[in-house]
Structure 1
Amino acid sequence: MDSYAWQGYDSIAKELQARIDGLSHRAAVLVIECYPTVRQEEIVQAIRSRLNPAKIVRSDEAAMTGEQIKARVQRYLTDDRVFGHLSPYTIDEFYPQDRLEELRGEVSSVTDGLVVVIGFGASLVAEGDILVYADIARWEIQQRYRSKEFGNWRMDNREEDTLRKYKAGFFFEWRMADRLKRKLFSRIDYYLDTNVKDDPKMVTREALTAGLRQTASQPFRLVPYFDPGVWGGTWLEEHIDLPPKEKPYAWGFDGVPEENSLYFQYGPVRVELPSLNLVFFQPRELLGDRVYARFGAEFPIRFDFLDTIGGGNLSLQVHPTTDYIRQTFGMPYTQDESYYILDSKPGALVYLGLKEDVNPEEMMRDLRRAQAGELSFPAERYVNTYPANKHDHFLIPAGTIHCSAADCMVLEISATPYIFTFKLWDWGQIGLDGKPRPVHLEHGEKVLQWDRTTSWVEEQLINRVDQVGEGAGWSEERTGMHEFQFIETRRHWFSEPVLHESNGSVHMLNLIEGEEAVVESPNGDFEPFVVRFAETFIIPASIASYTIRPSGPSEGKKIATIKAYVRP
């Protein structure tokens, strides 16, 4: 499909010029709608030098000023460093009509030659003869925030705290930009991948749609990324073949559609796009009718890695209850989760639940004193600790105090609202930016479930393994989640092929034991798909059934997967 994809500004400009030459009128309008933090100036310079436009109109110049935008959205952004409230805005609310009319007049005044309209909101200025959508992956946006290359849209805040920039993106900009993207998608002529500096890739909408459809009909993986952290360990670097970092890797994001991206290959051209685009534009095929009806175009499950082997403790933390997250932050569901221990060292621990007869006032007083630097919070006085061994599964319904201590390699299986962690105690650690990481005792105190004590935890949350099926060379175990949580997890041990049925839900899996496995279609509906140890992969709901068997170096050996899906 290389005739539908182009790489580099020279070939992209040649394709656009051919489209312009094919128009029946002398004045042509090229609209380039941009996601926030796309390098617009790079595109403008490339277009100017290759297409010689008669006029370039920058739509952002007609938008409200940063101060006006900030004043309008402040109640959603709040003064908190991390948390805001999901905002309902659409892009047109930040473009005064009189200024739009001025720009439209500039466009219509050109009677001969090319007019280029570019910006976040360019599609408000002109419909255009050709519409290009310039996109960027969420992880790349974060890198541009961190490097201070970009601040938030229309804001002069490149030097601001990265957490605050991320907050404005998460609660305001990205929601608004995604609404616009979904509205425009059926109209665009071309999709422009702007993730790599000076190396754009462009595909037709038809080719992109074909790629999305194909992905939603076969097993696939997301493009993973790995990030250092204050408590980072050594496992990820040693087992995932990652380049050494000055600070150790703490996070591995291998199954987070809100953040990860996808690669599409068109002949020699590899296009990178946010994996959210698949959720937006193939929701029923990916999620299944039942899950889509419940959650809308949102992927409700995530897998990620937390590496503390040779590192330190995660923060002692709690996640908000569903009612609290809805009322306080506007999220429809909360971050129920679990820790699946992919590996550990002797002596590794997990903190989970409160000890019997804990006095809430006394514990909160000690947490406040610890936050003030008056003492080191005596976590073991208040919180249970349990040995964490390989293949243990700890269930963590929202409202339960928890923490992975050092020397654990955790596969975290959770619902998707992933930034809503209320840190209660951070062991005196300082963030990689040199600042103390935010602690939210005022939120945590309101959601802590004080009745989640030792007896309840040991009965309800630790290794609740029930065998639910077996056959020749395989067995299936229910390992969770808790009845309070909408995610179900199943572990399969197998040395022979195992049949899985989707039952109307997308599946997310990880190969938790063994070097290699292959996913196959009983009916030949997709090509065999190979996965390796610790890799997360997704089976769209459109696949009614599939098999997984040991392959390569694992052939004939007993291996294991863990699977998560939305309960009926």
Structure 2
Amino acid sequence: MTPDHQPAVVNEQSTGYVKLPTIPLPEGAEVLTGGEAWHAALRIAHDRTAGIPLVVVDVYPGADVAALTASISAALPAAEIVDVEDAAAADPAVIDALIGRHLTDDRVFGVMSHFTVDEFYDGGRVEHVRERVAARRSPLVLVGWGAELIAGAEADALVLVDMARWEIQQRYRRGAANWRAGNHDEDALRKYKRGFFVEWRTADRHKRTLLDRIDLVVDGNAETEAAGAVAGESFRAAMRGATTQPFRVVPFFDPGVWGGQWMKERLDLDPAAENFAWCFDCVPEENSLLLEAGGKVVEVPAIDLVLSRPRELLGERTHSRFGAEFPIRFDFLDTMGGGNLSLQVHPLTDYIRDAFGMSYTQDESYYLLDAADDAVVYLGVKPDVDPKEMFAALRAATEGTHPFDAERYVNTYPAKKHDHFAIPAGTIHCSGANSMVLEISATPFIFTFKLWDWDRVGLDGVPRPVHLDHGERNVRWERDDRWVEQNLVGQVHEIRREPGLVEERTGLHELEFIEVRRHWFEHEAAHDTEGTVNVLNLVEGDVVEIVSPTGAFAPYRVHYAETFIVPAAVGEYVIRRAPGSRSERFATVKAYVRGTLASDA
């Protein structure tokens, strides 16, 4: 899935939101397409050996290995091509037995795994492939996930065919199977679970060992013949460059049973679509980066930047706390003209670690980009709720006995534009209809325990999964209306006021690790990363630009509702009114890991 890199047609209601932001490749870089990439790989291999060249094409699980093999064979007819997955992978039944306890019987949740890719291969078959490598009489290309491990030090050229998780999910929905699984007709949620808990963890662990050594990166998201490729040195230079300036990941949009119309109208999305519910505007585990040179792009997973340059991106203190993992997530939840989100709760830290193997949980908050007059947020339980009675009512509703009377048990609060509601794990919550929410949260986004889904089915016609047993173990019952009003609603505190500038602390509870600051300004606001990554969104005003006081990077334009990342390595930066702006005032919300800035005090 290579995005169409043509400028969007902006309608009258559009904000100018850029759906295909790019990151420049270094000067002189060239994007290769089709057979050019395979010819380049073979040239590299020839240049490095006086013998018969060996090219290794390591592939992220989810890529179409058969199509890749056919493309390489067409470009390099004199070469022998070996699909190492077909030749050496363990039998599917062996793999299923190996990973079964990590997948569990649940439709959504598994346990985080720590496999390495060599565990999915048969030792005897691997040795047979190595014998073929040693006995080669013509150029040989090994293709498949883990091909580099089979080739080892023998490889003369190393190629990585990389993919973003969002594209893999789309392929699941269209009938693609998990790696070596043959589960084409299985529920897409179960395929995603296998990817999330097993394949992607293993693949990223393996890929991280390759990023400093690859000679060529090929875009596995695109149709094979149209796929772009770029030299490994150019890829690494682009990753280094991305940590020295603001950038955006490529957002993606998805419909939902509760989806609304705001994003479709304001962000210039497909007007024929029934709705859009989600936008992952900054989730590097899922999103892509578009690397551009000469008007051509190569799409790579944004997680590659996290894996390859974690200290420069995250900052030393944040990296020491989370490792090579991006801990902050910004996404949109659009219920304008739609319906309520599911009533839900997120796991407590001790529970998510014990049950699923995650080291931190999904604390979050709702920032209202927009809201209709009747918009509400469901938050916390009403006083003196009997937990057994409430969950008995939820189970009866799930079984179809009668609908769940949410308002009897759960508080509702009016929600208006620029309100910010904190939602620490363990708090029952959901956004009501007719809201446009910027969700600012910790990254483990899969761990939502739905309690009630308003008697709906998913877009696939199947009831969406509800997890009452998990939910019941995680609800903090003391978070009633009094506690919520004292801790989660209206928590805005002015930090400083200067002519034309107000800075506020807003939104997240002291139990949560994300700090959020809102800056209102007329002309400009000065910032400093102080050694930790900043994630921001322009929540008021039409367009601003991010500039370096020292000229370290070119001015970077940001439009209303766009999320952008300022890497820790940037240091000081200024957000100011952009030339041509028509707005009278501006506001950004900025999130960073709490306790990493001197200004937190």
| Matched ranges for 1:86-101 at <5 A | 86-101=112-127
TM-aligned CA deviation for residue 202 of structure 1: 1.4
Give the whole-Å Cα distance in 2 for the aligned partners of 1:184 and 1:478.
41
Q: Does 2:83 match 1:58?
A: yes
Give the whole-Å Cα distance in 2 for the aligned partners of 1:228 and 1:245.
12
CA contact (8 A) 1:229 1:247 kept: no
Give the whole-Å Cα distance in 2 for the aligned partners of 1:364 and 1:358.
10
Give the whole-Å Cα distance in 1 for the aligned partners of 2:179 and 2:199.
7
2:9: which partner in 1?
none
Q: Does 2:141 match 1:116?
A: yes
Letter of the structure 1 residue corresponding to residue 30 of structure 2: A
Give the whole-Å Cα distance in 2 for the aligned partners of 1:236 and 1:86.
33
Give the whole-Å Cα distance in 2 for the aligned partners of 1:543 and 1:54.
46
Give the whole-Å Cα distance in 2 for the aligned partners of 1:10 and 1:72.
38
2:281: which partner in 1?
254
| Matched ranges for 1:350-365 at <5 A | 350-365=377-392
Q: Does 2:213 match 1:169?
A: no
CA contact (8 A) 1:54 1:110 kept: no
Letter of the structure 1 residue corresponding to residue 107 of structure 2: R
CA separation of 1:94 and 1:10: change in aligned 2, threshold 3 A: closer
Give the whole-Å Cα distance in 2 for the aligned partners of 1:252 and 1:392.
20
Selected match of 1:427 from 454, 461, 464: 454
Q: Does 2:72 match 1:47?
A: yes
Q: Deviations over 1:527-559 (max 9, x none)?
A: 101100100000000011111112244356111
2:362: which partner in 1?
335
Residue 437 of structure 2 aligns to a residue whose secondary structure is strand
| Matched ranges for 1:127-166 at <5 A | 127=152, 128-148=155-175, 150-166=176-192
2:21: which partner in 1?
none
Selected match of 2:34 from 9, 20, 39: 9
Letter of the structure 1 residue corresponding to residue 35 of structure 2: D
TM-aligned CA deviation for residue 66 of structure 1: 1.6
Give the whole-Å Cα distance in 2 for the aligned partners of 1:548 and 1:367.
47
Q: How many residues align?
A: 566
Give the whole-Å Cα distance in 2 for the aligned partners of 1:330 and 1:17.
42
Q: Deviations over 1:489-533 (max 9, x none)?
A: 011110021111112210000000111111111111111011001
2:561: which partner in 1?
534
Give the whole-Å Cα distance in 1 for the aligned partners of 2:555 and 2:396.
57
1:202: which partner in 2?
229
Give the whole-Å Cα distance in 1 for the aligned partners of 2:435 and 2:551.
39
CA contact (8 A) 1:255 1:302 kept: yes
TM-aligned CA deviation for residue 11 of structure 1: 2.0
Letter of the structure 2 residue corresponding to residue 171 of structure 1: F
Give the whole-Å Cα distance in 2 for the aligned partners of 1:264 and 1:308.
33
Residue 554 of structure 1 aligns to a residue whose secondary structure is coil
Residue 447 of structure 1 aligns to a residue whose secondary structure is coil
Residue 450 of structure 1 aligns to a residue whose secondary structure is coil
Selected match of 1:480 from 507, 513, 519: 507
Selected match of 2:52 from 4, 22, 27: 27
Residue 22 of structure 1 aligns to a residue whose secondary structure is helix
TM-aligned CA deviation for residue 435 of structure 1: 0.2
TM-aligned CA deviation for residue 23 of structure 1: 4.5
Q: Does 2:534 match 1:507?
A: yes
CA separation of 1:23 and 1:212: change in aligned 2, threshold 3 A: closer
Selected match of 1:184 from 200, 207, 210: 210
Larger mean CA deviation between 417-426 and 551-560 belongs to 551-560
CA separation of 1:518 and 1:255: change in aligned 2, threshold 3 A: same
CA contact (8 A) 1:133 1:188 kept: yes
CA contact (8 A) 1:233 1:309 kept: yes
Give the whole-Å Cα distance in 2 for the aligned partners of 1:516 and 1:359.
49
Q: Does 2:132 match 1:106?
A: yes
2:403: which partner in 1?
376
2:585: which partner in 1?
558
Letter of the structure 2 residue corresponding to residue 103 of structure 1: V
Residue 417 of structure 2 aligns to a residue whose secondary structure is coil
Selected match of 1:235 from 262, 274, 281: 262
Give the whole-Å Cα distance in 1 for the aligned partners of 2:258 and 2:515.
29
Q: Does 2:449 match 1:449?
A: no
Give the whole-Å Cα distance in 2 for the aligned partners of 1:450 and 1:300.
27
Selected match of 2:110 from 66, 84, 107: 84
1:126: which partner in 2?
151
Q: Does 2:310 match 1:283?
A: yes
CA contact (8 A) 1:5 1:201 kept: no
2:498: which partner in 1?
471
Show structure 1 runs of 5+ residues with no match: none
Q: Deviations over 1:282-305 (max 9, x none)?
A: 101000000000000000000000
Letter of the structure 2 residue corresponding to residue 100 of structure 1: V
Residue 537 of structure 1 aligns to a residue whose secondary structure is strand
1:269: which partner in 2?
296
TM-aligned CA deviation for residue 24 of structure 1: 4.1
Give the whole-Å Cα distance in 1 for the aligned partners of 2:60 and 2:200.
8
TM-aligned CA deviation for residue 474 of structure 1: 0.6
Letter of the structure 2 residue corresponding to residue 255 of structure 1: C
Letter of the structure 1 residue corresponding to residue 106 of structure 2: D
Show structure 2 runs of 5+ residues with no match: 1-25, 596-601
Selected match of 2:437 from 401, 410, 414: 410
Selected match of 1:297 from 324, 347, 351: 324
CA contact (8 A) 1:53 1:115 kept: no
CA contact (8 A) 2:31 2:298 kept: no
Larger mean CA deviation between 218-227 and 100-109 belongs to 100-109
Letter of the structure 1 residue corresponding to residue 130 of structure 2: R
Selected match of 1:73 from 80, 99, 104: 99
Larger mean CA deviation between 262-271 and 252-261 belongs to 262-271
1:36: which partner in 2?
61
CA separation of 1:228 and 1:184: change in aligned 2, threshold 3 A: same
TM-aligned CA deviation for residue 26 of structure 1: 4.1
CA contact (8 A) 2:365 2:422 kept: yes
Letter of the structure 2 residue corresponding to residue 290 of structure 1: R
Give the whole-Å Cα distance in 2 for the aligned partners of 1:527 and 1:51.
42
TM-aligned CA deviation for residue 40 of structure 1: 1.4
CA contact (8 A) 1:2 1:268 kept: no
Give the whole-Å Cα distance in 2 for the aligned partners of 1:266 and 1:343.
37
CA contact (8 A) 2:545 2:556 kept: yes
Residue 88 of structure 1 aligns to a residue whose secondary structure is coil
1:523: which partner in 2?
550
Give the whole-Å Cα distance in 2 for the aligned partners of 1:421 and 1:24.
53
Letter of the structure 1 residue corresponding to residue 187 of structure 2: D
CA separation of 1:24 and 1:315: change in aligned 2, threshold 3 A: closer
Give the whole-Å Cα distance in 2 for the aligned partners of 1:435 and 1:107.
48
Overall identity of the aligned pairs, in %? 52
Letter of the structure 1 residue corresponding to residue 385 of structure 2: V
Give the whole-Å Cα distance in 2 for the aligned partners of 1:204 and 1:527.
25
Letter of the structure 2 residue corresponding to residue 341 of structure 1: L
Larger mean CA deviation between 483-492 and 261-270 belongs to 261-270
**Normalising by structure 1, what TM-score?**
0.98
Give the whole-Å Cα distance in 1 for the aligned partners of 2:114 and 2:43.
40
